[in-house]
A and B are shown apart, each in its own frame.
Chain A
Amino acid sequence: MVRTSLLFLLAALLCLPWADLQISTLDPWLELSRLGWGLLTPLPPSTPTLLDALANTLAFALQGVALGAVAGFWLALFYRWQWVRTLAAFIRSIHELFWALLFVQLVGLSSVAGVLAIAIPYAGTFAKIYGELFEEVDPAALEALPAGTSRLSAFFFTVLPPAWPHLLTYTRYRLECGIRSSAVLGFIGLPTVGFHLETALKQGMYSEAAALFYALVLVIVTLHLWMRRQLLPLYLLLALWWLPPAAQVNPTLVWQFFTVDIVPAPLRAGWDGAALWLWLQALWLKQIGPGLANTVVLGLIALVATSGVTLLTFPLVSRLFGNIFTRSTGHVFLVLMRSAPEYLLAFVGLLLWGPSMLPAIVALGLHNGAIIAHLVGHYSNELNLREDAVTGFNRYFYEVLPRVYRTFLAFTLYRFEILLRESAILGILGIPTLGFFIDSAFSEFRFDRALLLLLVTALLNMAVDMIARHLRRRLQLSTHPEDL
């Protein structure tokens, strides 16, 4: 375990020289102090705007997650088939923002685009987690059934009931993620909180931005209070009423998208192998290669940053350290960082320090570190130390860290795939990872390039998913999927 950790650390250090960490803004401190002041003096934009944005955010999230959960459930029923696993891995390896960019081309900036953008990758994740939950169920009940019981009847009586509570817990956690995703979709133009946040932040109206941010955090933090199983149908109906499915489909454009636009440019006039080769070569040298390298570099450094943040902050919420005051402060800090989408944090970082990898690393580290720190802190609360155990740093290094390290590593590796997905997407903000080139290709209407780059991103994520799973298995680290 220690060796694996050191290898990751070494890899990240080797990546550092290739990472652009420059601060290019003239006076980052001034901007930071203005941001800090804004956070302390939140000033809501007009109430209708705020409520409207929140309602939209929730409506996209509810519809998207519900659709994703239903689709994922059906996929999970066939999870023992390799092609279903691969399909699920593929659709979840493409970030919801990329799906959104794609659907906006096909159905315009509409409710259908936003809902599908959330539903599709979430279906892939749900399929995996539900599928794994179903596999973990004790097979004794299944074996005791009369011969000739249909597979689905057997499933609903023996597999679903034991998995059900875990399934609900995980689905609710994903709804929280869905609200974040929905908010971020605003950054590409859908009318959610992110849309107003981007406007406010760009204009330096930090108080307005802070109010929007706090509203989002409030919605997420109170999720367990208002999300009741009995109320779910009502919420879904409300979401459909507020945001009825609508799309602007222009059949000619859609037809052209599939028959012309996504065909590699050199092939549109007919097969031309030589031209295709040149096209691929140029794309590899100028976009795919650098994009891949930067995504991996950012992902690895972000992984180490996440670990650093976790190890530094989990004592803040652990009952083994500090007092009620430090723990309360720690909880508030972690909740804020957990509820803030990476994309938003990176956007703010970019305003403070200018375009480089630094804001992305800080954003990824803070958000993911806060999530894992919360879980590790929770885990450490269950440890029983002897009454005369040492205190302070000695307690941290001798009593606690060795005991929680396994759990910490398991959670961190679990999030490696997510970190890489996010590293790619942060390119939309101007950091030259794969997302940067995908976003440029979309805005230049070069859909052939965009699609190829998306495919590369998906393959990279699937590869990292496999590596992380392999490592977790080799180190015998198990996590319950519903924990994350």
Chain B
Amino acid sequence: MNAAVLFDVQQASLGYQQRAILHGLNLRIHAGEKVALLGESGAGKTTLLRHLRTLRPDEVAWCPQHSGLVPMLSVFHNIYMGRLDRHSLLYNLANLLHPLQQPRQDIQRIAADVGLQEYLFTSVEKLSGGQQSRTNLARALYQQRAVFIGDEPVSAVDELQADQLMALICARHDTVVVALHDVELALRHCTRIVGLRAGVIELDQPAAGSSAATLCRLYAAT
């Protein structure tokens, strides 16, 4: 492959809260790849994603599973928070008190993309789980980075929506690394499948040519 290497993890042992979860991990991700991380919960997907994010913190649009939304703030504000780092404190405060024209237009558009246009100024705590999850995704989209890293970004929405949202994620980002639990969804949208099992990479293959049946062994009982 000619594309630049974005992430290069060699012989890494990664842990979360002082517990080693991933052992002797080798993973190289190139720009332009759409990588799906599969595996049972506890296999180490979240730990790996968190680590990847720390490697290029300024280039990554980050969409964590535990969303970190601020419940009492509106959808607008929660999305706006994706770009807090790009504005001065004064500009941020002004938007907190009264949304300004420019971010309002931008965020309106993104909210429409994920189907939240009617809820722009509703506080997040009044939304359903699926709507909150879409707010969280919209925040990551609003960051407009080249790389998207998401931990189950579409898990709380129905299948049809998940499909549309995954397409949106892939269309808006050059490189995508997402943990998914829906194998079909991964095969439809991603170019590469990485399967984790008990802290090691069990399989790593192109999506083209893979079938749901072969991927099932990731989830089979030992």
Measured CB to CB, the residues of A under 8 A from B are: 140-150, 152-154, 156-158, 161-162, 164
Q: Bound state CA distance, A162 and B78, in angstroms? A: 13
Which 5 residue pairs are nearest across A and B when measured between Cβ atoms? A144-B68, A147-B57, A148-B85, A149-B85, A140-B68
Chain A contacts for B67, CB-based, 8 A: 140, 144
Count of B interface residues, CB-CB < 8 Å: 28
B89: chain A residues within 8 A (beta carbon)? 150, 152-153, 156
- Looking at B83, B86, B87, B92, the one whose CB has the most chain A CB atoms below 10 A away is B92
**Any A CB within 8 A of the CB of B70:** yes
Query: Is B15 engaged at the interface, CB distance under 8 Å to the other chain?
Result: no
B85 pairs with A143, CB closer than 8 A: no
Please tell me if the beta carbons of B96 and A164 are within 8 angstroms of each other in the complex. Answer: no
One of B58, B66, B87 near A147 (C-beta < 8 A): B58
On whether the beta carbons of B85 and A145 are closer than 8 Å, the reply is yes
Q: Flag if A157 contacts B58 (CB, 8 Å).
A: no
Q: Closest approach, in angstroms, between the C-beta of B92 and any C-beta of chain A?
A: 4
**Quick check: is B175 within 8 A (CB to CB) of the other chain?**
no
Contacts of B86 in A (CB 8 A): 146
A232 → chain B, closest Cβ, in Å?
16
The answer to whether A141 and B70 touch (CB under 8 A), given A146-B62, A153-B92, is yes
User: Does B24 interact with chain A (Cβ within 8 Å)?
Assistant: no
Contact A156–B92 (Cβ < 8 Å) = yes
Contact present for B73 and A157 (CB under 8 Å) = yes
A161–B70 CB distance below 8 A: yes
Could you tell me if A157 and B64 are in contact, using CB atoms closer than 8 angstroms?
A: no
- A-B residue pairs in contact (CB < 8 Å), sample of 18: A144-B67, A144-B68, A144-B69, A145-B84, A146-B83, A147-B57, A147-B85, A150-B89, A153-B92, A156-B92, A157-B70, A157-B77, A157-B84, A157-B92, A158-B81, A162-B71, A162-B72, A164-B72
Q: Chain B nearest CB: distance from A212 CB in Å?
A: 42
What residues of chain A lie closer than 8 Å to B85, measured between beta carbons?
A: 145-150, 153
Name A141's closest neighbour in chain B (CB-CB).
Answer: B68
Which residues of chain B are within 8 angstroms of A153 by Cβ–Cβ distance? 84-85, 87, 89, 92-93
State which of B66, B69, B84 has its C-beta within 8 Å of the C-beta of A149: B84
Please, how many angstroms separate the alpha-carbon atoms of A448 and B81 in the complex? 54
Compute how far the CA of A141 lies from the CA of B124 in the bound complex, rounded to whole angstroms: 13
B74 to chain A, nearest CB (A): 10
**Smallest CB-CB separation from B87: which chain A residue?**
A153
Give B contacts to A, CB under 8 Å: 57-58, 60, 62, 64, 66-73, 77, 80-87, 89, 92-93, 96, 139, 143
The answer, among A140, A143, A145, A157, for a CB contact under 8 Å with B96, is: A157
Chain B: which residue is nearest A159 at the CB level? B70
CA distance A186 to B116 in the complex (A): 58
| A144 with B62: CB separation less than 8 A | yes
Known contacts A144-B139, A157-B92; 19 additional CB pairs below 8 A are A141-B69, A142-B68, A143-B64, A143-B68, A144-B62, A144-B64, A145-B81, A145-B85, A146-B83, A146-B85, A148-B58, A148-B85, A149-B85, A153-B84, A153-B93, A157-B77, A157-B96, A158-B68, A158-B81
B67 and chain A: residue at smallest CB distance? A144
In the complex, A128→B147 CA distance in Å? 41
Q: What's the Cα separation between A154 and B85 when bound, in Å?
A: 9
B91 — nearest CB in chain A belongs to which residue?
A153
Complex alpha-carbon distance, A161 and B72, angstroms? 7
Q: Report yes or no: A146 in contact with B84, Cβ–Cβ below 8 A.
A: yes
Most buried by B among A141, A146, A147, A158: A146
Whole-angstrom distance between the alpha carbons of A153 and B92 in the complex? 6
Alpha-carbon distance A144/B81, docked complex (angstroms): 9
Q: Compute how far the CA of A148 lies from the CA of B89 in the bound complex, rounded to whole angstroms.
A: 12
| From B71, B80, B143, residue with most partner A Cβ within 10 Å | B71
Of chain B, the residue at the smallest CB distance from A138 is B68
Do B64 and A158 have beta carbons less than 8 Å apart? Answer: no
The residues of B that contact A143 with a CB separation of less than 8 Å are 64, 68
Whole-angstrom distance between the alpha carbons of A31 and B70 in the complex?
A: 60
Cβ A154 vs Cβ B68 within 8 A = no
Interchain CA distance A149-B68 in the complex, whole Å: 15
How many angstroms between the C-alpha atoms of A146 and B148 in the bound complex? 12
Residues of A within 8 Å of B72, CB to CB, are 161-162, 164
Which residues of B are found within 8 Å of A141, using beta-carbon distances? 68-70
Name which of B70, B71, B81, B139 has the most chain A CB atoms within 10 A of its CB. Answer: B70
Cβ–Cβ < 8 Å partners of A147 in chain B: 57-58, 60, 85
List, in ascending order, chain A residues with CB within 8 A of B87's CB: 153
Q: Nearest Cβ in chain A — how far from B216, in angstroms?
A: 32
Most buried by B among A142, A158, A164: A158
A156 touches B68 (CB 8 A): no
Taking the nearest CB of chain A, how far is it from the CB of B144, in angstroms? 11
Shortest A165–chain B CB gap in Å is: 8
Across-interface contacts of B62 in A (CB, < 8 A): 144, 146
Bound Cα distance from A261 to B188, whole angstroms = 83
Contacts of B60 in A (CB 8 A): 147
A158 to B92, CA, bound (A): 12
CA A157 – CA B72 in complex, angstroms? 10
In the bound complex, do residue B71 and residue A146 qualify as a contact, i.e. CB atoms below 8 Å apart? Answer: no
Chain B CB within 10 A, most for which of A144, A148, A152, A157: A144
A153 to B82, CA, bound (A): 11
Closest B residue to A164 using CB positions: B72
| Contact between B73 and A140, CB atoms less than 8 A apart | no
A161 to B84, CA, bound (A): 15
Task: Give chain A residues whose Cβ lies under 8 Å from the Cβ of B66.
Answer: 140
CA separation between A433 and B68, bound complex, in Å? 52
Q: How far is the CA of A179 from the CA of B67 in the complex (A)?
A: 43
